[in-house]
Structure 1
Amino acid sequence: MATDIPGLAQLWRSFENWLAEHAPGDYGSLLPGCSEEDIQRLEDGLGFSVHEDVRTTLELHNGVTVRSASTEPGAFLLGYSLLDVDGILAAHRDLVSMVEDAREEGEEDLVVGRIADREWVPLAQNISGDLLFVDHRYHCAGELGEMSFGDPEYRMLWPRMDLMMADLCRSVETRTPVTAVPRVPSVHEGRMLEWQVRSAQG
């Protein structure tokens, strides 16, 4: 089944095309891709090489125009805004600080690998500071996780980014929920994509 999924870059283009037609505000928020020098700066700041899915995404779009309010477009990834290189580094520093604080306080078991980890690379952030991240731990490499402040543990949403993008493309085209979370797409004011949370009862 997975072998029938298009490549990540193609999936991103399909998603962008949908945004251009149905959510032009979100499409207009996309920024140009970053340079190889930017990716090298990112890897130097992280202290390790980024997963190819992160590289592919950044080469296509180095984030989106920063939102100052929830009424502004750009949060088309399940309510999260794609981060640029500087945003990734800043969010990663916050995760590292959480890890270091937990170790100093003897709470490593409650934090590391549960709500923060040095090997999580933030991909997108919502207006509350919650994160979508790409796991870079060896046994979880490439997985897409969601870390929400206040939750005791992160959630693994997709095992690979191409599966995430394929799911998002299918969801917006059919207006049905994504498989990983009970969220349904809708277009607000003809300009931006929103994701409505659906209860287990529907």
Structure 2
Amino acid sequence: MPVEENTDPARVEAAWRNITAWLAEHAPLSHASLLPPATEAEIERADTLLSDRLGFQLPSELRQLWQLCGGVEHQDIEADEQGEVFSGAFLPDRLLLSPAKAPGPRLPGPGTKDFWGAEVEPGTS
């Protein structure tokens, strides 16, 4: 059965409120790592980079999520009484980059060097 796409902003916002309420109660360190909503300018910059370099726009779901949470600031933390040991463990792949950081790994700019120090040509990575 295909999954029905639902990008209704009111439902997304309600779901996010439920998630953050649960985190506040059961995973306070993860809750504290959530960044405030990204600005529209930050989201537009990421969207423009993606559009200019790859020819497609941000998924509407990611845009909506960034309007509610601008990313996760990971923290080195020790296990708390509830066993929480990583501030982003509730996320798929334990990661939600901000609009400013998200394009970087996929869209290197001029002069960017790879792991071995070789210059990366934009659009070839």
Answer whether TM exceeds 0.5 for this pair: yes
CA distance in 2, matches of 1:35, 1:90: 18
Given the alignment, which residue of 49, 52, 72 partners 2:57?
Answer: 49
Corresponding residue pairs, total: 99
**Alignment pair present for 1:100 and 2:124:** yes
TM-superposition CA deviations, 1:125-175 (whole Å, max 9, x none): xxxxxxxxxxxxxxxxxxxxxxxxxxxxxxxxxxxxxxxxxxxxxxxxxxx
Aligned residues with identical type, % of pairs: 29
Instruction: Within 5 Å, give how 1:68-83 maps onto structure 2.
Output: 71-83=85-97
Relative distance call for 1:51 and 1:79 in structure 2 (3 A) is closer
Work out the CA distance in 1 between the residues paired with 2:77 and 2:105. Answer: 19
Unpaired runs of at least 5, structure 2: 79-84, 109-120
Find runs of 4+ consecutive structure 1 residues off by over 3 angstroms.
66-72
The amino acid that maps onto 1:42 is: A
Gaps of 5+ in 1: 102-202
Instruction: Identify which of structures 1 and 2 has the higher relative contact order when contacts are C-alpha pairs closer than 8 Å and 6+ apart.
Output: 2
User: Structure 2 vs 1, CA of residues 67 and 91 (structure 1 numbering), >3 Å: closer, same or farther?
Assistant: farther
In 2: Cα distance, 1:66 partner to 1:87 partner? 13
Given candidates 68, 87, 93, the residue that maps to 1:60 is 68
Per the normalisation by structure 2, the TM-score is 0.64
Deviations 1:42-71 (A, max 9, x none): 111112321210111001111011345794
Specify which structure has the higher proportion of strand.
Answer: 1
Query: How far apart, in 1, do the equivalents of 2:75 and 2:61 lie?
Result: 24
Q: What is the root-mean-square deviation in Å for CA atoms of aligned residues?
A: 3.1
Distance 1:29 1:84 in 2: 12
TM-score scaled by structure 1? 0.41
Distance 1:21 1:11 in 2: 16
Q: 1:91 to 1:9 in 2, by over 3 A?
A: farther
Change (3 A) 1:75 1:83: farther
